[in-house]
Amino acid sequence: MYVCICRAIREREVDAAVRAGARRPSDVFRACGTSPQCGTCACDMRQRIADTTARERTIQQTVMAAD
């Protein structure tokens, strides 16, 4: 699903940017080699960043607990 229609940034691209260290929408745009256009996606992108960050943290904790 697209998070940013203007720049054709999909959820998977946001997730990849977060795994590479993005923590703000501007970081995601930079990782995708583009810049924001209208800003309508900012709220959805922030939520996706938060969800992905939480999911990655849970995965890391699970892996560490299994060791």
pLDDT tens, position by position, 28-46? 999 999 999 999 999 999 9
Rounded Cα distance between 16 and 14, Å, is: 5
Please check whether residue 10 is in contact with residue 3, taking contact to mean a CB–CB distance below 8 angstroms.
yes
Give the H or E element holding residue 46.
Answer: helix 42-66
Class in CATH terms, 2-66: mainly alpha
Token representation of residue 10: 């999909």
Please check whether residue 1 is in contact with residue 11, taking contact to mean a CB–CB distance below 8 angstroms.
yes
Q: What pLDDT sits at residue 3?
A: 97
Query: What is the mean pLDDT of the segment spanning 9-34?
Result: 97
pTM of the predicted model as reported, rounded to 2 decimal places: 0.89
Q: What is the C-alpha radius of gyration for the chain, rounded to an integer number of angstroms?
A: 13
